[in-house]
Every structure is written in C-alpha cells, then in structure tokens.
Chains A and B, each alone.
Chain A
Amino acid sequence: MKDYADLLLLLVAVSNLYIVATSRLNSCVRASAIQGAALALLPLVLWTSGFNVQLFHLAVICAGTLAIKAIVIPILVSRAIREANVRREVDPSVSLHSSVLLAGLLMGISFWMSTVLVLPRPAPTMLLVPVAFATLLTGFLVLISRRQAITHVIGYLLIENGVFIFGQTLAREVPFAVELGILLDLLVGIFVMGIAINHISREFDHIDTELLSTLKD
C-alpha cells in the first residue's frame, strides 16, 4: 500500500503544475478538488499498513478531508466565482509560461531542501517532504503572482495542503484531532473569504487586488 503513496504525491505535484499553468479559474478549482481527494487518500495509504493507528481516527480524518477539501471548499469557491461575477480567466502578473517554469524551479528547490533538512525521523516515503515543500511554495507563488482575490483563496488552500502533507511525517506525535481542527479552521476561513468577496463585489465593481497598492490616505 505504501508504494502507492508516491504515485498519489506525484498526482499532487502534477495538480500543482496544472493550477499554475491553467488560464481558467474553474479548472484551477477543479484541480484543487482533485488534489484534495488525493490528500484524503494519502493518510489511508500511508498508515494502514504502518504502526497501529486507530482505524477509526484514520477513517474520520480521511472522510473529513475528502468532504471538506474535495467537495465543500470547491463548491464554496465556485459559488463565489459565480456570484461575485469575477472574470473567468486567471489574471497573472507573471506570464503563465514563466509561472510553470517557476513552479518547476520551486520543485527543484524543494528536492534540494529535503536533502538538507534534518527531520526528527525519516519520512515515510521518498516524495513526501519534497512534495510538501513544493505545494507550500507553489501556494506562495500563486499568492504572489495572481491578481484576483479568488485565486488567492486557492493559494491559501495550496499552502494548507502542503502543511497537511508535511504533517504526515509527524503523524505519530500530532494526533489526528489537531489535523481535524486545522481543517475546520480552513473551512471557516474559506467561508469567511467567500462571503467577504461577495460583499466586496457588491460594494465595488471588481476585486482586483492590484489596485489596493495604489491606495493613499
């Protein structure tokens, strides 16, 4: 079972690339839903054959992740897209070509980082740490290089996904309950962001964050 974890992590890496490469907001959301589903399977694949985790906890965390990351959050985000009438295309300040190259570079950096980093215990599978870092960094890339508020939500999601993957290395120390708490926080965060974006778009006629930097007293 553990062998399939690397394939799942490769899927996560590919969806990172896709999120950075695609020009459509909806496919961004869909890719993040797929990534969420892959993440939901990850603990199941990693720990069922490993040490004795209580199977009940495992099932709860998987079902919770699947429900929240693969279903609820994508629905919330796409609802926000629909209701706030944002443009259906991502609005990058760095061209899509160079964002893909940057994402590849970040992937390389995360491979390098994972060889340098000393972990309290070896990671359960080879790709876990590099992909965790890559997802985290890709999240930052999305946050920095996209103009629309909706894409920032996806950036935050990617960062949380990276933290989730990295959390798997500490699964023995950190109880899954903590992970569930984080998941709930995230859901509330996205919920609030969705509502905020809705309100902003009702007050103003766009949600272009670029214009925030021109604000003066």
Chain B
Amino acid sequence: MLEIVIHIALLILFPPLLLGLINKTKSWFAGRTGPPLLQAYFDIAKLLRKGAVYSRTTTWVFRAGPIVSLGSVLSAGLILPLASNVAPLGFTGDVILFAYLLGLSRFFTMAAALDTGSAFEGMGASREAAFAVPAEPALFLSLAIVCIPAKAASFQAAWDALPWALWGGAHPAYLAAAIALFAVMLAENSRIPVDDPNTHLELTMIHEVMVLDHSGPDFAFILYGSAMKLFIIAALLVHVLLPIPEHLSWTGVILLCLGEAALAVLIGVVESVVARLRLTRVPQFLIGASVLAGIGLAIALYRGAA
C-alpha cells in the first residue's frame, strides 16, 4: 500500500521540478538568474484557475486532446516501476502498452491540433508525426534490449534481471540502450537538438505549435503532461543506469530523485551547448539513435546466443 502511495506521490509531485531544473541550468549557462525552481508549479496553478476559450470550429476532439494525453501519460507512469522494481499496474507485456500509451498521448495531441483547422497547427502535427516515425523504433529497440536478458516483456522482470555491474563494462548493450533512450527523451519531450521549447512563434518549432490554441486548464494539462512524460522517460533511463533496489526503500527513492535531477541538468547542459538541428537533419539524428539501439539489440542477442 505504502509503495503505491509513494509511487503515485513521486509521479504526481516531482515532474514540474524537472522543468525548473532544466531552466535553472540554462540560465546558469547564460549568466542569468532565471525563473525560480518551482516556476512550473506556479504556472500550472495559475493556468488551472483560468477559464478556457474554445473556438467555434473545434469539436470534442479538441477538448478531449489534453485530457486523454495527460491520462495516457499518467497510466504509462503507473505501469513503469519508479523507485523500486514493482509498479502499481505492472503485468506481463506492460512494456508494449507503455510504448503505445506514449503513442496514444501523442496521437491525441496531434488530433487536437488538427481539429483547430489552423494550417499552422496542422503543419506542427505533420512534423510531430514525421519525427515520431524514426523515434519509435529507437524506443522499442531499447525496450527490447532491456527485456532480452529477462526473456519476459515486463518491466518488473526486466529490472529484476538487470545486472548491476553495468559500469564494469560487461554490458555494452545497455550502454547503447541508454544512449538511444537519451536521444528518444530529447525527441519525445521536444528538447533542443530536435525542437526548441522556447520558440513560440517560429516556423521551426514542432511541439509548441500544436498547443497554441489551448488555454487555461487545458494548457495546464498539456504542460503537466509533458513534464510527466519527461519524468517517465527519465525514470526509464535512470533504471538502466543506476542500481535501483528491488524493493521499495529510501535508497531507491533518493537514487531515483538524484538520477532524475542529474538528467534534467544534463538536458539543460545539452540545450545550452548544442544548436538546434536543421529540420531535415532531425530524422537522421533519430535514425542514428534507432540504428544504435539496433546494434545494442544485436549485441544483446549475440550475447544471449554465445
């Protein structure tokens, strides 16, 4: 019972802090003070108090978009183990549902963007769809890499079988999976080499353009949902990189929080030192990540066969 409470508390309370950490790191690089660490919480609270404006051309799809996408990300967070190897809703095959829940969330964001009838948002949706295609194999292949040693398609079995001696150098496959997952994390959360979260009115943006018409609580859901998505994919990465204890303990919670914070800082560093890729280069970046995950899969299979 306590495990479930802690899991849900982490999942619900922690994500907006990541955005704050990323922004702090970026401002530190730029020599600014930057917004307060808890700014994302304030933003969400402010947006929740506001009313929403709906255009007359939109239908229920537009209203359902933010809710469904937040809901599916939340469910994805419930089937992914966070601070231990056990998740509240874990079952055999949850790995596949996890990937598809992320896909569902993206689908509804895109559907809502298309529903506005605005050409600008349609363009953003088309880009999002185009970049999701090369990002998905990277995610799936990385998940396959972590599942192969366990020979079972569930997170719990995969983390149980994960060897802790990762940095003994014995497991290059996991390293490949970690690099590919990091690329997926940047792409899925519209971070810099792929998309720029700060540009609200530029022709190069992808994610931000799709949510331009949402306001008030709807926009709060979107903001919160994207923070949570970042948190979830980062948690996946933390599990690959750090030895999280099997059963719930303070060590696990602390390791998870530290790992998440470190990844947020790393994203901030990447955003500060790397330039945004040209749109035509983005698929190449993601195909590279997929191929790397494919190499990792080959290594994992080869190791299993040998």
Contact = CB atoms under 8 A, between A and B. Distances in A.
B284 A104 contact: no
A77 interface: no
A213 to B, nearest CB: 28
A3 interface: yes
B303 interface: yes
Interface in A1-56: 3-7, 9-10, 13-14, 17-18, 21, 23
A107 interface: yes
A191 interface: no
Contact of A10 (B176, B283, B288): B176
A140 interface: no
B170 A103 contact: no
Given A3-B169, A4-B169, A17-B291, A111 B284 contact: no
Interface in B285-306: 287-288, 290-292, 294-295, 298-299, 301-303, 305-306
Contacts of A188: none
A23 B280 CA distance: 12
A101 B291 contact: yes
Contacts of A23: 281
Contacts of B298: 107-108, 111, 130
Q: Looking at chain A's contact residues, is the secondary structure mostly helix, strand, loop, or mixed?
A: helix
Pick the most buried of B281, B292, B294: most chain A CB atoms within 10 A of its CB: B292
Interface in B214-238: none
Interface string A112-132: 001100000000001100100
B168 interface: yes
B298 to A, nearest CB: 5
B287 to A, nearest CB: 5
A61 to B, nearest CB: 22
B175 interface: yes
A64 to B, nearest CB: 25
B149 interface: no
A202 interface: no
Interface string A89-117: 00000001100110110011001001100
B172 interface: yes
A21 B285 CA distance: 8
Contacts of A100: 284, 287-288, 291
A108 B293 CA distance: 12
A13 B170 CA distance: 16
A7 B287 contact: no
A102 to B, nearest CB: 10
Nearest to B291: A104
A56 B292 CA distance: 36
A126 B294 contact: no
A6 B302 CA distance: 13
Interface in B126-152: none
B176 to A, nearest CB: 6
B295 A97 contact: no
Contact of B175 (A5, A7, A108): A7
A129 to B, nearest CB: 10
Given A10-B176, A103-B291, A104-B295, A126 B302 contact: yes
A103 B287 CA distance: 11
Contacts of B306: 126
Contacts of A5: 169
Given A7-B172, A126-B302, A107 B288 contact: no
Nearest to B165: A3
Nearest to A3: B169
Given A10-B172, A10-B176, A97 B283 contact: yes
Contacts of B295: 10, 13, 17, 104, 107
A126 B303 contact: yes
Contacts of A14: 179, 292
Interface of B: 168-170, 172, 175-176, 179, 281, 283-284, 287-288, 290-292, 294-295, 298-299, 301-303, 305-306
Interface of A: 3-7, 9-10, 13-14, 17-18, 21, 23, 96-97, 100-101, 103-104, 107-108, 111, 114-115, 126-127, 130
22 contacts: A3-B168, A10-B295, A17-B288, A21-B288, A97-B283, A97-B284, A97-B287, A100-B287, A100-B288, A101-B291, A104-B290, A107-B291, A107-B295, A108-B294, A108-B298, A111-B298, A111-B301, A115-B305, A126-B302, A126-B303, A126-B306, A127-B299
Complex A-B, nearest 3 residue pairs according to Cβ-Cβ distance, in ascending order: A104-B291, A3-B169, A4-B169
Given A17-B288, A100-B291, A108-B298, 17 more contacts: A3-B169, A3-B170, A6-B172, A10-B175, A10-B295, A13-B295, A18-B288, A21-B288, A23-B281, A97-B283, A101-B287, A101-B291, A104-B290, A107-B294, A111-B302, A126-B302, A126-B306
